[in-house]
Amino acid sequence: MKNNQPTIIVIIGISGDLSRRKLLPALAQISAAGELPCECRIVGITRQYDLLLSDVLTHVEKAKDIEGMIEFWNMELDKKDAYEKLGKHLKEIERGFTSPAQRLFYLSVPPQISRPIIELLGESGLASAPNTKLLLEKPFGVDFESAQELANHVDHYFLSDQVYRIDHYLAKETAQNLVVFRQDNSLFKRTWNKDFIESVNIIASEKIGIEGRSIFYEQTGALRDLVQSHLLQLTALILMELPSGRNFAEIPARRLAALNSLRLKGRVEENVIRGQYRGYQSEVKNHGSHVETFVSLTLESDDERFINVPIVLTTGKALAFKETKIIISYKRNENHESNQLILHLQPDEGVELCLFAKRPGYEHQVERHPLKFSFGEYYSRLPEAYEQVLFDAINSNHTLFASSEEVLASWRILDSIQKTWAMNNNDLLIYEPGSKIEQIIDKKN
């Protein structure tokens, strides 16, 4: 439901790639749909004095819907008095509104400068202003200890209900539909357990390499970049207990319980595969780099409903295909064949159910046939994930945002992997760009 409370959206880092390619296009689409508050201003924080509106609206399809709302505010991000001046300016904007406004501070900045910005928002009094929200992008730390420190830092200046930690995978249509799909289809609701499910595979593969993001990727790697956030959040949606009725406000707590039930299956050396595509070291100009561009690991849950069901998470760059999907494999029949439910998140969002049927003809030959549903075939346009993220934050809906407890639970699951890798780099597999996932896994076996 649309929130008509006057709103000021402060984008710190408006000239950055995320803002230009995702945030501003999303706000334009929300505005075009008539879903932004009637009184809404976008304040773009920048250190560039020559920044033009056309510079930040290059990728915005419906720019006219928001260009009149945008203004730039030049400030140094490391000066407390600059935040105090910003606060005075926001009050001036609010005087033109018909009622008190909410303020959204979106930190569209590199992770290394997020922490001091949070501190200065707090020390300047901006964090404690009524109806103030903080929107944060991953990464939320690099391991359990740093994530705990960051959570404590944020909690020192902001209340938990002010903070929106973004995982845009949760805002994809297929991910949002996972709960409805499980809850409203008795065929799956009754079979969503260890008695029927043989395994769960979540795959996020990319054809591209690191695309010039050398500094970021050398500090991150595939495990931190995708597994800790996106893939574990999707895992939680699959394993969690369904909310009562349609009380979606229960979902974050249910996700947390699911994450707390997870652990690595067995030893790291036996159940984790890491690799690096050939040419990566030259690309990052570090010929001793052991940063993984591919990782596949097997988890298990101590939840009674999923005991002994392996959950395999796989992600990598420079692979044969670009796709993100969830594969639910049901227990095999007497012919050693398995029905599969495949939930596609990208590039084409939809659902696929693999069934077996007799091939027409005199011989009794059984074939596998997919039943497919594509959102794109039924709907002329699917909202981008960041549209949902911003719409929900404006409307104070925390369902699609990760709590600090969820973030810490995710890091806990990966803790043994990170510690093992820190002591031993001998298991890094080198794979050719364009490899299939199976080819890399076969190298390990």
Look up residue 392 and give its amino acid.
D
- The DSSP element (H or E) to which 345 belongs, if any, is strand 340-346
Contact 328, 306 (CB under 8 A): no
3-class secondary structure, 75: coil
Sign of CA dihedral 157, 162, 168, 174: positive
Catalytic (active site) residue 230: yes
Q: What is the topology classification, in CATH, of domain 170-382+403-444?
A: Dihydrodipicolinate Reductase; domain 2 (3.30.360)
Dihedral in degrees, nearest 10, Cα atoms 429, 432, 436, 442: -40
pLDDT attached to residue 105: 99
pLDDT attached to residue 289: 95
pLDDT attached to residue 55: 83
pLDDT digits (tens, 9 = 90+) for 20-62: 999 999 999 999 999 999 999 999 999 887 788 888 888 888 8
Q: How far apart are CA 129 and CA 121, in angstroms?
A: 10
pLDDT attached to residue 1: 65
* DSSP structure class, residue 221: H
CATH superfamily name and code, 7-137: NAD(P)-binding Rossmann-like Domain (3.40.50.720)
Contact 211, 293 (CB under 8 A): no
pLDDT attached to residue 364: 84
pLDDT attached to residue 304: 97
* pTM (global) more than 0.85: yes
Using 50 as the pLDDT threshold, list the residues of the chain that sit under it: none
pLDDT attached to residue 161: 96
Catalytic annotation, pick one of 153, 156, 230, 336:
230
Scan for tokens 């590199």, then name that residue.
110
Dihedral in degrees, nearest 10, Cα atoms 54, 60, 64, 67: -50
Domain ranges of the chain: 7-137, 170-382+403-444
